[in-house]
Structure 1
Amino acid sequence: MTTKISRRQWLIRSSAALAGTMLAGYAKAGRALAMPRYAGAPIRMMYNENPFGPSEVARQAMIAAFPEGNLYANDARRELQSLIAEQVGVPEDYVMLGCGSSEVLNIVGMQCGIDQGEVLSAYPTFEALNRYVELLGGTVRRVPLNDQMDTDFEAMRKSFTGKTKLVYICNPNNPTGVPIPDSRLRPFCEEISKKALVFVDEAYFEYVGHPDYRSMIDLVRSGHNVIVSRTASKVHGLAGLRIGFGIAHPDLLKKLIPRLTGSTNLIGVRAATASYRDAEFQQFSLRKNREGKEIVYRLLRETGHNFLESHTNFVFFQTGMPIQEFRREMRQRGLLVGRPFPPFLDWCRLSMAKPEEMHIFADAFRELVG
């Protein structure tokens, strides 16, 4: 069942699980399931990719763009920038295109690091921005999630210092998949943005069904010191084509845009433009993702494993063994699952594949733990 547990509880359970794996009962190496269909191509469940994308509309747009391959993508980028601005309700000069939202994260982290700034960030979370801060000489203060595995805003407030230049928030959080309700996030952003830049990473925005979830783009629109990132990598299935966006006040973007690498490509831009107009495929992706998650939820309720109800395209759950062992066992069964996320070292972030592939995972999991 969906479970809210305290840190004390998960530490106890994690320790017990880690110790238990010394027993032969968990040591089933070599007992691979027979999956001839996937014998040469393991099922990818580790990078939060869309197993269905790109859409047919986006593929046709890519094909149509090949004759333009001799041209720079300036006009195509402006068209996409205009479309995104229209869809999120901001002027065009509030939108910056990046090579995935990772580039937006990276250049903000780069700027903060160069300025020797300090960043506040939840832990664990998506670390792209934090890595750039530290690489370039800045400091990251990682604030552990609270007992409900939510972003701990009270602890963040207490950790804020005169050196803090940036607060990074991933909503929903990665790897937990838990969304931050508007009633908690908005007051925090309004308060902290008076003292530092607030970066809200909305990579999984389209997946959220929580009634109290809202984008923070309206705070950007109303002049708060906030930047929001979005990506075409998830619902749109364009992870390999690297298209993302930063949405912020033009004065901030003027400082960031010179650090862009200019690596967004014409094919990716044309595909994203078509995909953002393809509401039918977006709804298809969301529907299939919900089907996949329901398969996992039913499985974990059946086997009695703790999990967090996700508003993303992955599920974070307790495996009952060290994550590295779980990854090896799943790999032997033709399944590639998520990496470790300290301190949750017996939890797995499982990306949703196609529903029929999620049934294969369910069979493999039952075979392993049963």
Structure 2
Amino acid sequence: MSDPSFSLSRRQWLRTTGLGLGATVALPGLLPAHEATRVLGGVSYRELLARLEQDATTARRLAGPVRLMYNENPFGMSPRAKDAVMAGWTEHTWYEPPIRQQVRETFAAHVGVPPEYVLVTQGSSEVLATAALAYGVDGGEMVVPHPTFEDLPRYASTLKATVHKIPLDDRMDHDFYAMDARIGSNTKLVFVCNPNNPTATLHDDRTLRDFVTTACKRAPVVVDEAYYDFVDVPGHRSMVDLVTKGESIIVSRTASKIHGLAGLRVGFAVARPDIIERLSQYKTGDPNVFGLHAMNASLRDTEYQAFVKQKNREGRTLLLDSLRAAGRKATASQGNFVFFHAGKPAADMQRYFLRQGFMVGRAFPPYTDWCRVSIGTPDEMKAFVSVLPGAFA
């Protein structure tokens, strides 16, 4: 963001959006106070969620250019999660708070495994870091698609592991045939991301299962399911059931996406107990108590999850339809972001959209003329698509 063209002051932003410095709207951190007032006033939870959309849109607009670059949840954590954070404040002084085991048990029940199959981590990035350490600390080789979420291959590279990056196929899916051919006697770990980031593509369930069950006989397979909760394809299944069948598979999940807890750092590994024990040896710490309380409540808040998924679907459909109308190619997104062919450098797209009040994703080589856009609130996406045609002028 050192490029002068990226400079947009908060005062300029308030002017362009029509919000004066005296605007009476809450910053994101103050939204819980509004929500508490509404609950005390007898507003139903359904009504509260309906109002949350406008609150989030207004607060994000006041905070500056709209963040559509990191695949964040624009609505933040659920109101019930915020209540849980406040209710659990006494445990922040404890080294071993009871909530640590409680959230492990809650998540285990959520995905249908015994608690000993779950490791609670500081975000899903720690799952990938501990996997790299546990299986790559002595060198060896790892097989990963390219491009994909970069944490595991980056960690592995720092450990002097040889990382084989296998290009995506012509449909921007994992090339499972090429990945399978690369797995050898010195392969320590295989990585799959489904839906994939940055392409947002979802793999055919049967093809993925065939690959994973074959590959894990030769090396443990990490399956990153960070965007699992946004998938709309009927019959789509997690790989968790393969874990319970005893396969050498590590499923990674996060609280950062549909649960809106990116800043509180909570994630999960689901694997056989012996693999969980191995990963545990490389943990660097524990999630903070506030994040744990928030996640424990959010896992039970299925109404909020459904709300976020529906709003994401609305925004995603609006963007995909607008791209189609503009004649632009886009992948069939199953995440909370869209990846489309811009026909010009991603940096040019960043500069254009920033002038319009939006921050979008960086370049993802080799797709340097493609653009990744996270899904904001429906109102934000309406504003975004209104300026979209100008990006292709």
Does 2:159 align with 1:124?
no
1:91 counterpart letter in structure 2? P
Distance 2:290 2:128 in 1: 22
Per-residue CA shift, 1:259-304, capped at 9, x if unaligned?
1122301100000000000000000000000010111012101111
Matching residue within 210, 216, 230 for 2:239: 216
Q: CA deviation at 1:125?
A: 0.3
Matching residue within 342, 364, 370 for 1:341: 364
Matching residue within 326, 349, 355 for 2:378: 355
Distance 2:379 2:137 in 1: 47
After TM superposition, the structure 1 stretch with the greater mean CA deviation from structure 2, 260-269 or 71-80, is 71-80
Query: Which runs of structure 2 are paired with 1:1-370 in the superposition (5 Å)?
Result: 34-37=16-19, 38=61, 41-370=64-393
**TM-score, with normalisation over the residues of structure 2?**
0.84
Per-residue CA shift, 1:208-264, capped at 9, x if unaligned?
122352111111101011110111110111111111000001111111102112230
Q: CA deviation at 1:190?
A: 1.2
Q: CA deviation at 1:141?
A: 0.1
Other structure's SS at 1:119 match: strand
2:168 counterpart letter in structure 1? L
1:241 counterpart letter in structure 2? L
- Work out whether residues 223 and 250 of structure 2, in 8 Å CA contact, stay in contact via their aligned partners in 1: yes
Which ranges of structure 2 fall in alignment gaps of 5 or more residues?
1-6, 20-60
Q: 1:263 to 1:213 in 2, by over 3 A?
A: same
Distance 2:235 2:161 in 1: 34
Q: 1:129 to 1:356 in 2, by over 3 A?
A: same
Distance 2:158 2:267 in 1: 22
Per-residue CA shift, 1:128-178, capped at 9, x if unaligned?
011010001111100001111111111111112211111100011111111
Other structure's SS at 2:258 match: coil
Other structure's SS at 1:69 match: helix
Equivalent position of 2:46 in the other structure: none
1:130 counterpart letter in structure 2? P
Q: CA deviation at 1:35?
A: 3.1
Distance 1:299 1:35 in 2: 22
Q: CA deviation at 1:39?
A: 7.3
Distance 1:63 1:216 in 2: 34
Other structure's SS at 2:93 match: coil
Equivalent position of 1:24 in the other structure: none
**TM-score, with normalisation over the residues of structure 1?**
0.89
Distance 1:318 1:138 in 2: 33
- Work out whether residues 253 and 269 of structure 2, in 8 Å CA contact, stay in contact via their aligned partners in 1: yes
Q: CA deviation at 1:200?
A: 0.4
- Work out whether residues 91 and 97 of structure 2, in 8 Å CA contact, stay in contact via their aligned partners in 1: no
Q: CA deviation at 1:112?
A: 2.8
- Work out whether residues 220 and 249 of structure 1, in 8 Å CA contact, stay in contact via their aligned partners in 2: yes
Distance 1:51 1:73 in 2: 32
Distance 2:318 2:349 in 1: 19
- Work out whether residues 181 and 214 of structure 1, in 8 Å CA contact, stay in contact via their aligned partners in 2: no
Per-residue CA shift, 1:80-136, capped at 9, x if unaligned?
001111121111111000000110011111223312021100100001011010001
Other structure's SS at 1:47 match: coil
1:88 counterpart letter in structure 2? V
- Work out whether residues 112 and 138 of structure 1, in 8 Å CA contact, stay in contact via their aligned partners in 2: no
Which ranges of structure 1 fall in alignment gaps of 5 or more residues?
1-28
Distance 2:361 2:369 in 1: 11
- Work out whether residues 171 and 180 of structure 1, in 8 Å CA contact, stay in contact via their aligned partners in 2: yes
- Work out whether residues 252 and 268 of structure 2, in 8 Å CA contact, stay in contact via their aligned partners in 1: yes
Q: CA deviation at 1:317?
A: 0.4
Distance 1:343 1:136 in 2: 24
1:269 counterpart letter in structure 2? L
Per-residue CA shift, 1:297-321, capped at 9, x if unaligned?
1210111111011110000001121
Q: 1:63 to 1:345 in 2, by over 3 A?
A: same
Distance 2:90 2:308 in 1: 29
Q: Larger relative contact order (C-alpha < 8 A, sep ≥ 6)?
A: 1
How big is the alpha-carbon RMSD for the aligned residues of Structure 1 and Structure 2? 1.9
Q: CA deviation at 1:34?
A: 4.2
- Work out whether residues 197 and 226 of structure 1, in 8 Å CA contact, stay in contact via their aligned partners in 2: yes
Same amino acid, percent of matched pairs: 44
